């Protein structure tokens, strides 16, 4: 699979939130979310996209397949 990496933009907020929520809801080994999906979507748009350095991976069909969030010198999400 060929993957393209690029910095996420505000236009990517919904796709980033979709990927994040799918991953978190499917994960059996990490604690369940304490916030609603709507709150997570707001956090992605208002904090992650706007105030950190989010990078996304897209496949050949431009579907989002990965996310890495850099917050200063910290890898915040992967």
- Confidence check: pLDDT of 1 > 80: no
Parse the chain into domains and list their residue ranges: 4-77
Q: Tokens 């994960």 — which residue?
A: 27
Q: What is the DSSP letter of 77?
A: E
pTM score, whole prediction:
0.88
CB 7 within 8 A of CB 55: yes
Domain 4-77 falls in which CATH fold? Aminopeptidase (3.40.630)
pLDDT (tens digit per residue) in 40-76: 999 999 999 999 999 999 999 989 999 999 998 999 8
Tokens of 5: 């990496």
What is the distance between the alpha carbons of residues 14 and 3, in angstroms, rounded to a whole number? 20
Position 65 scores a pLDDT of: 93
């Amino acid at each position: 699979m060929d993957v393209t990496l690029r910095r996420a933009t505000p236009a990517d907020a919904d796709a980033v939130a979709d990927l994040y929520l799918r991953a978190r809801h499917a994960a059996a080994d990490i604690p369940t979310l304490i916030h609603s999906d709507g709150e997570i979507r707001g956090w992605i748009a208002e904090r992650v996209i706007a105030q950190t350095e989010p990078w996304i991976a897209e496949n050949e069909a431009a579907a989002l397949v990965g996310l890495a969030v850099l917050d200063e010198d910290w890898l915040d999400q992967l």
